[in-house]
Amino acid sequence: MGALAILTGVFALTLLGVLLWPRWLARHGAGWTHAPEEAAWVLPEASQKLIKQAFAGTDGHAIVDHGVGIVSRGQLSGPDFSNNSQERGHGVPAIGVWLSQALRDRAAGIVNEHTADADYISRLLRQIRAMPKPYRAEITGRAGVFGKHGAPLDDQPEPMISNRYVAWLADRAPKALAAEVSIHPRRPDAAAAIKRWAKAGVQDVRWWPVAQRIDLNGKAAKAAYQVMAAHDMRLDVAVGQLRRSDHDPAWVAPAAVEAALDAGVAVRLRLGGSTGGDGQQLMPALFSLLRRHGHAKPALTISLAGLLTGARPKTELEPLLQHPQFFEHLHYGSAYPAIARADAIDLDALARAGFIAHADVAPLRAIYDVNPLLFTLVVMRHVHLPYTTLRFPAAVFTADSD
């Protein structure tokens, strides 16, 4: 009887899990239920009004999103290259990492593992093309990790996204996509690769200093800065509390980019965690850097990507809103596909904290139900400093627009 009871309990729990799994996925993964093209027919008037307000003041310029990631399993390749992208590093991912990726995939429209690349880019382009006005997303490659002697690690611990794949996508949809490449400074042909991509019209080089194990003040990085400066390229790099998949978090101070600025390289900062393991504080260090370099050339800018999630509205977004003298240094980024998850942006929490009006929560949620990329833009356009009407100007969202 005991064994039968255990089997019955296991069966009941399994059945319950099967029945609740779709609802749980909808709550934390893909909460949207409509196609992006349906916005004009299914959105209520209040949502339509918020969308119209979000695009006000752009004066015919395209919205530029400097924060769109690419998901690729290496399935799609162009006629003249083989896509060597890989979604995960070596080893079996922890259950939390696996679950997070599964939810992100569902939210980004991936319905079949065997067609993941096509599913992902199709859903992304449908959202962009359904925008009421021009919208351009900068998509980025991600280089692998290179060792101290310039050779790539045999077992890559981090995801990799092929630069050629990203450039190929951008070439196929030039009005919707722009390419950003990632070139590890320790690769033997780093200088030649930077020159080659600059000649191809690419402006930005992206680094993940902790995950890619790049010393921003090292010899290899300084050599890369010289080449980037000579070709008017910008370094796109994360600072703050960062981590790589197989290691504890590490702190990258904003001041670490001064070597690039001193070499004449424009820098765009992406913000990581606001507090370091030894008590370091990101925002005071960031504002100190802006005061030293904000009005000098080359340009120093900051991405807003990811600042609507978790505790970041209070720790990073609010301090930026409190300093309108630095608004000209801000660039919009959505942090897609992470923000496509239904639980990524907590509208109720934003309203309670005073960043958005309570009356806007329901209309904004309706926009997510149709187009998460549009939803994120509209939320950021309506975010204001609590207890004031101060919000980011339209120029933040059209920065670098053609």
**Following DSSP, what letter does each residue of 173-211 receive, concatenated?**
STTTEEEEB---TTSTTHHHHHHHHHHTT--EEEE-TTT
Q: Per-residue confidence of the chain (402 residues) as pLDDT tens digits?
A: 556 555 555 454 454 444 454 555 555 556 688 999 999 899 999 999 999 999 999 988 999 999 999 999 999 998 889 999 998 765 555 666 667 788 889 999 998 999 999 999 999 999 999 999 999 999 999 999 999 888 988 888 889 999 999 999 999 999 999 999 999 999 999 999 999 999 999 999 999 999 999 999 999 999 999 999 999 999 999 999 998 766 778 999 999 999 999 999 999 999 999 999 999 999 999 999 999 998 888 899 999 999 999 999 999 999 999 999 999 999 999 999 999 999 999 999 999 999 999 999 999 999 999 999 999 999 999 999 999 999 999 999 998 865
Instruction: For residue range 81-123, list pLDDT tens digits in order.
Output: 999 999 876 555 566 666 778 888 999 999 899 999 999 999 9
The pTM is what? Answer: 0.90
> Alpha-carbon Rg of the chain, whole angstroms?
22
Nearest CA to 159 out of 72, 252, 251 is that of: 72
325 CB-near residues (< 8 Å, 6+ apart): none
Count of other CB atoms within 10 angstroms of residue 61: 18
Which residues sit opposite 142 in a β-bridge?
Answer: 161
pLDDT value of position 15:
47
Distance CA(280)–CA(220), nearest Å, equals 26
Please tell me whether residue 146 adopts helix, strand or coil conformation: strand
What does the CA dihedral 152, 154, 157, 159 come to, rounded to 10 degrees? Answer: 70
Instruction: For residue range 12-33, list pLDDT tens digits in order.
Output: 445 444 445 455 555 555 668 8
Count of other CB atoms within 10 angstroms of residue 243: 13
How many secondary structure helices (H) and strands (E) does the chain include?
15, 9
pLDDT value of position 97:
67
Instruction: For residue range 279-314, list pLDDT tens digits in order.
Output: 999 999 999 999 999 888 889 999 999 999 999 999
Half-sphere exposure (Cβ direction) of 14: Cα atoms closer than 13 Å:
6
Nearest CA to 363 out of 386, 390, 382 is that of: 382
pLDDT value of position 214:
96
380 CB-near residues (< 8 Å, 6+ apart): 304, 308, 332, 334, 392, 397
CATH code: domain 2-397 is: 3.20.20.140
DSSP 8-state symbol, 316? I
DSSP 8-state symbol, 336? B
pLDDT value of position 23:
55
DSSP 8-state symbol, 152? B
Query: Domain coordinates of the chain in residue numbers?
Result: 2-397
